[in-house]
């Protein structure tokens, strides 16, 4: 694939553009990674001229680029790459102006950072004005539907103008350096893979805990809930990367083929399973990091039964993972921000230390994704001493702190990698349609099962680790959440 020469950004004045996309493009510019004549055309409904848009972009950079990386001169030079076209996606005029500004035959990447309700109108407008074609690729971001059927409607509408190899579905977790590092850990080391199966692994936990609440996204979030907002995409992608078979190569087809196989082996949730496989919750008022915060419905301003927390026990039904539970949990307003994959190995088959009064614990591998990136293997060691009163064993960590190991590497926003791959035309870290559909298929089943079972969200205090039922979910199996 060839590099495109222009990025066309729909939703160019929106929150994602200001917080993530413009700072990411600035990062690529400052590192000399954007092609020399690369242009960025922003569109949105606001009536702005180029200069006004450039000024607003510079303001956004000042606010969102880390101070030690922000350079006013470089920001100014970057802003000259930007132009702006005022466009209402439901009307034809804007697209006509756009057609005069961008040349799709010179290679164009289009990023839809707008509400999905506008996708069809945008695609129709692009089509009608000659802004599609073999050298145009399209990036879109969730929410791509609220279930399998509605996601198919969106994907079908997109597919009319953009075949799958030019459709780049974003899951920003795949742009995170730490998530990509999972592949390096598993497939660039020989010591983990032989143990990476049900013979040696007792269970897996995936936690994506957030301290933040609604953040003025109530209208979207209340219609989605934690299952659709976080599990359907980010958490199932993490699960797929943990559980997939080794791909033959680091290329888009090999990696995505292996991920989709895992997603399709998730055991469908049955209504009878719900009571011991699913817990949902909704936060009440409390305190996060010492600051008092209101409850969900107060923040939202109305009554709601939307879940802001979900804990699930999932099963990957294949030869490698038979009998190994995958516990997933995510929530807003939890005790702290923490994304982590925790793998507990099986106990030694026989402890030679038992007769000396010492207890062994199973080995654990903790892959901390954020806020700190860290890989920690917990191993048993003997406590120093003469052992006159018996042997004492203790768990000690073997730590790889990535921040120290790679101290001079700048921490990039996930979107930097994804935007660069979009410009280059490398789809490896984007989600293929069959993956999205397998994800929805499983999620729809979970939802249907919990609705069938009449599950309602249990209250939890903001700043906690979720409802107590989530603790019972694992304790029933003799497993503790790793907190
Ligand atoms: C988004 C969700 O996809 O991911 C948000 O819609 C969530 O609700 C966010 O806060 C979390 O992303 P990150 O990168 O901060 O873990």
Atom 13 in ligand 1: which residue has the minimum CA distance? 173
pLDDT at 402 over 80: no
Tens-digit pLDDT profile for residues 117-144: 899 999 999 999 999 999 999 999 988 8
The rounded percent of the chain whose pLDDT value lies above 90 is 93
pLDDT of residue 410: 84
* DSSP secondary structure, 59-122, as one string: HHHHHHS-TTT--HHHHHHHHTTEEEEE--TTSHHHHHHHHHH--GGG-EEEEE-S-GGGHHHH
Q: Which atom of ligand 1 is nearest to the CA of 233?
A: 3
Annotation-wise, does 142 bind a ligand? yes
Measure 132 CA to ligand 1 centroid, in angstroms: 30
Annotation-wise, does 45 bind a ligand? yes
pLDDT of residue 218: 93
Average pLDDT taken over every residue of the chain: 96
- Position 408 confidence tier, pLDDT thresholds 50, 70, 90: confident
Distance CA 284, CA 297 (A): 8
pLDDT at 115 over 90: no
- Position 86 confidence tier, pLDDT thresholds 50, 70, 90: very high
Q: How far is CA 379 from the centre of its chain?
A: 30
Measure 422 CA to ligand 1 centroid, in angstroms: 21
The rounded percent of the chain whose pLDDT value lies above 70 is 100
Tens-digit pLDDT profile for residues 252-279: 999 999 999 999 999 999 999 999 999 9
Residue with tokens 């005029």: 93
Which of 143, 179, 225, 230, when mutated, tests ligand 1's pocket best, judged by the most ligand atoms within 8 Å of its CB? Answer: 230
Q: How far is CA 113 from the centre of its chain?
A: 16
Q: How far is CA 371 from the centre of its chain?
A: 14
Distance CA 239, CA 171 (A): 14
Which of 229, 237, 331, when mutated, tests ligand 1's pocket best, judged by the most ligand atoms within 8 Å of its CB? Answer: 229
Annotation-wise, does 176 bind a ligand? yes
Q: Which atom of ligand 1 is nearest to the CA of 217?
A: 8
3-state helix, strand, coil in the chain (%, to 5): 40, 25, 35
Residue 411 has what DSSP assignment? P
Q: Is 208:367 a contact under the CB 8 Å cutoff? A: no
For ligand 1, say whether the CB of 141 is within 6 Å of any of its atoms: no
Measure 93 CA to ligand 1 centroid, in angstroms: 35
Which of 9, 224, 4, 247 lies closest to 113 in space, CA to CA? 9
* Edge-to-edge strand ranges of the sheet holding 6-10: 82-86, 39-44, 6-10, 108-112, 136-141, 167-170
Q: Give, for 287, the enclosing helix (H) or strand (E).
A: strand 286-288
Q: Is 402:378 a contact under the CB 8 Å cutoff? A: no
Annotation-wise, does 36 bind a ligand? no
Measure 157 CA to ligand 1 centroid, in angstroms: 26
Q: Within 188-295, where are the H helices?
A: 218-226, 236-243, 252-264, 274-277
pLDDT at 483 over 90: no
pLDDT of residue 407: 80
Annotation-wise, does 332 bind a ligand? yes
Q: Which atom of ligand 1 is nearest to the CA of 234?
A: 3
Which of 24, 64, 140, 172, when mutated, tests ligand 1's pocket best, judged by the most ligand atoms within 8 Å of its CB? Answer: 172
Measure 33 CA to ligand 1 centroid, in angstroms: 26
Distance CA 241, CA 38 (A): 33
Which ipTM value was assigned to this complex?
0.99
Average pLDDT over residues 325-351: 97
Please identify which of the residues 18, 29, 234, 277 carries the catalytic annotation.
234
Tens-digit pLDDT profile for residues 278-333: 999 999 999 999 999 999 999 999 999 999 999 999 999 999 999 999 999 999 99
For ligand 1, say whether the CB of 299 is within 6 Å of any of its atoms: no
pLDDT at 189 over 90: yes
Which of 322, 314, 393, 402 lies closest to 360 in space, CA to CA? 393
For ligand 1, say whether the CB of 421 is within 6 Å of any of its atoms: no
Q: Which residues make Cβ contacts (< 8 Å) with residue 73, sequence separation at least 6?
A: none
- Position 401 confidence tier, pLDDT thresholds 50, 70, 90: confident
Measure 158 CA to ligand 1 centroid, in angstroms: 24
Distance CA 175, CA 413 (A): 8
- Joined tokens for residue 115: 């509400």
For ligand 1, say whether the CB of 229 is within 6 Å of any of its atoms: yes
Q: Which atom of ligand 1 is nearest to the CA of 208?
A: 16
- Position 116 confidence tier, pLDDT thresholds 50, 70, 90: confident
pLDDT at 455 over 80: yes
For ligand 1, say whether the CB of 210 is within 6 Å of any of its atoms: yes
- Using DSSP, state whether 314 is helix, strand or coil: strand
Atom 6 in ligand 1: which residue has the minimum CA distance? 229
Which of 217, 228, 234, 417, when mutated, tests ligand 1's pocket best, judged by the most ligand atoms within 8 Å of its CB? Answer: 234
Annotation-wise, does 3 bind a ligand? no
pLDDT at 403 over 80: no
Q: Which atom of ligand 1 is nearest to the CA of 176?
A: 14
Distance CA 326, CA 191 (A): 22
Q: Which atom of ligand 1 is nearest to the CA of 142?
A: 3
277 is catalytic: no
Annotation-wise, does 399 bind a ligand? no
Residue with tokens 């915060």: 293
Distance CA 26, CA 64 (A): 11
Measure 234 CA to ligand 1 centroid, in angstroms: 9
Report how many helices (DSSP H) and strands (DSSP E) the chain contains, helices first.
17, 17
Tens-digit pLDDT profile for residues 22-57: 999 999 999 999 999 999 999 999 999 999 999 999
pLDDT of residue 180: 93
Q: How far is CA 155 from the centre of its chain?
A: 20
Distance CA 24, CA 31 (A): 11
| Size of the chain, expressed as the number of residues it contains | 483
Measure 212 CA to ligand 1 centroid, in angstroms: 10
Q: Which atom of ligand 1 is nearest to the CA of 414?
A: 14
Quickly count: other Cβ atoms within 10 Å of residue 51's Cβ: 11
Give, in order, the Cα–Cα distances in Å from 481 to each of 13, 340, 344, 365: 41, 11, 11, 13
Q: Is 78:36 a contact under the CB 8 Å cutoff? A: no
pLDDT at 406 over 90: no
Distance CA 355, CA 216 (A): 59
Question: Residue 212: phi, psi to the nearest 5?
Answer: -75, 160
């Amino acid at each position: 694939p060839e590099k495109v020469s222009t990025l066309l950004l729909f939703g160019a004045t929106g929150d994602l553009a200001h917080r993530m996309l413009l700072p990411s493009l600035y990062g690529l510019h400052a590192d000399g990674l954007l092609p020399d004549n690369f242009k960025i055309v922003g569109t949105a409904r606001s009536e702005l001229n180029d200069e006004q848009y450039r000024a607003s972009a510079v303001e956004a950079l000042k606010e969102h680029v880390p101070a030690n990386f922000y350079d006013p001169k470089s920001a100014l030079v970057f802003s000259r790459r930007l132009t702006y076209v005022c466009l209402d996606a439901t009307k034809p005029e804007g697209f006509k102006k756009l057609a005069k500004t961008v040349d799709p035959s010179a290679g164009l990447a289009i990023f839809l950072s707008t509400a999905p309700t506008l996708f069809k109108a945008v695609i129709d407008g692009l089509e009608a004005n000659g802004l599609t074609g073999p050298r145009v690729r399209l990036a879109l971001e969730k929410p791509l539907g609220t279930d399998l059927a509605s996601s198919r409607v969106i994907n079908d509408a997109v597919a009319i103008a953009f075949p799958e190899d030019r459709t780049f579905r974003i899951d920003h977790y795949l742009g995170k350096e730490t998530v990509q590092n999972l592949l390096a850990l598993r497939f660039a080391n020989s010591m983990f893979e032989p143990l990476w199966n049900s013979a040696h692994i007792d269970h897996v936990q995936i936690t994506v805990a957030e301290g933040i609440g609604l953040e003025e996204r109530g209208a979207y979030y209340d219609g989605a809930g934690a299952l659709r907002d976080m599990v359907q995409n980010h958490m199932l992608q993490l699960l797929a990367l943990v559980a997939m078979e080794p791909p033959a190569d680091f290329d888009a087809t090999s990696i995505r083929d292996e991920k989709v196989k895992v997603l399709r082996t998730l055991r469908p949730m049955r209504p009878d399973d719900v009571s011991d496989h699913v817990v949902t919750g909704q936060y009440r008022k409390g305190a996060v990091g010492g600051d008092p915060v209101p409850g969900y419905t107060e923040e939202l301003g109305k009554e709601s039964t939307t879940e802001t927390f979900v804990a699930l026990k999932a099963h990957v039904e294949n030869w490698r993972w038979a009998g190994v539970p995958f516990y997933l949990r995510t929530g807003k307003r939890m005790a702290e921000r923490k994304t982590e994959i925790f793998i507990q190995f099986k106990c030694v088959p026989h402890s030679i230390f038992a007769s000396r009064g010492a207890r062994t614990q199973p080995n654990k591998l903790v892959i901390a994704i954020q806020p700190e990136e860290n890989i920690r293997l917990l191993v048993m060691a003997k406590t120093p001493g003469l052992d006159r009163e018996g042997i004492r064993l203790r768990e000690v960590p073997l730590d790889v702190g990535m921040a120290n190991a790679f101290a001079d590497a700048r921490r990039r926003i996930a979107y930097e990698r994804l935007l660069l791959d979009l410009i280059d035309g490398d789809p490896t870290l984007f989600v293929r349609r069959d993956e999205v559909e397998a994800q929805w298929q499983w999620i729809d089943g979970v939802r249907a099962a919990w609705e069938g079972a009449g599950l309602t969200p249990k209250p939890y205090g903001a700043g906690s680790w979720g409802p107590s039922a989530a603790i019972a979910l694992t304790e029933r199996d003799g497993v503790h959440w790793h907190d």
